[in-house]
Amino acid sequence: GSSGGQITITSAPGETPKIVGLVELEGSYTTLSGLEIDGSNNAYNAVRSGTSCPAPVSNGLEIDGHNDTFQYNNFYESVPSLRGNGIGIGWNGQANNTVIRFNRIHDLGQCQDYDQMIYLAHGNNAQICDNWMWNDPHGWGVQVYPAASGAHIYNNVIDGAGSGFVIAGDTTVQNNVIDHNIVMNSTGLTHAGLP
């Protein structure tokens, strides 16, 4: 896509497509909208040092381009033994101006405080809003780490996660705003020191 021509990937009218497996948005100016995505896969092979976490597990849906939008989707990982991170923003790129909105994001994670529903790693000016997220007792609803700035995270509902939000990193992590969210039924993240 381009600034003058966003590419939209969506369902045909009257259809309900289901995508199964690893999804990566590496291009820019791309929108994924109105899809059911079962992100179960076995692409993440790394054994996480100092943990008893299983491997392989699902590599999360990756957004690594800029000006990408993920909206009105139902995203989950149906295979409990493969559950890992949910959506990774900027894991392998500077994902500026990413928009994550109006989604259902659920049934994720199994690794002691490492598997987040939305993991904002790198990028400026992300907007994460109006999402309904549930059932990830092993991670945060949204983690901003290690180098994302200018994010606005608002109007989300996080139900049954380990905890709601965390912001951490170096001096490049700044000007992030989290407001008007609902966090309920948190399970606690004992390995992270949160009862």
- What's the pLDDT at 5? 92
In the block, tokens 């976490």 appear at 53
Average pLDDT over residues 20-41: 97
pTM for this structure?
Answer: 0.95
* pLDDT above 70 for 26: yes
- What's the pLDDT at 194? 58
- What's the pLDDT at 152? 98
* pLDDT above 90 for 153: yes
| Segment 76-93, tens digit of pLDDT | 999 999 999 999 999 999
| Segment 111-150, tens digit of pLDDT | 988 899 999 999 999 999 999 999 999 999 999 999 999 9
Q: Among 134, 133, 114, which Cα is nearest to 189's? A: 114
- What's the pLDDT at 161? 97
**Contact indicator for 94, 120 with CB cutoff of 8 Å:** no
- What's the pLDDT at 1? 84
CA dihedral 121, 75, 32, 15 (to 10 degrees): 180
Q: pLDDT grade, residue 195 (50/70/90)?
A: low
- Judged by phi (left if over 0) then psi (alpha if -120 to 50, else beta), residue 135 lies in left
| Segment 92-104, tens digit of pLDDT | 999 999 999 999 9
In the block, tokens 């995505």 appear at 37
Main-chain dihedrals φ then ψ at residue 80, nearest 5 degrees:
-55, -35
* pLDDT above 80 for 60: yes
- What's the pLDDT at 193? 62
Work out the mean pLDDT of the chain and round it to a whole number. Answer: 94
Neighbours of 42 (CB within 10 A): 16
Q: pLDDT grade, residue 157 (50/70/90)?
A: very high
In angstroms, the CA 64 to CA 56 distance is 22
Instruction: State what percent of residues in the chain have pLDDT above 70.
Output: 98
Any idea what DSSP says for residue 65?
Answer: S
The number of residues in the chain equals 195
Average pLDDT over residues 172-184: 95
Q: DSSP per residue over 6-54, as a string?
A: -EEE-PPTT---EEES--EE-SSSEEEES-EEE-----B-PPPTTS---
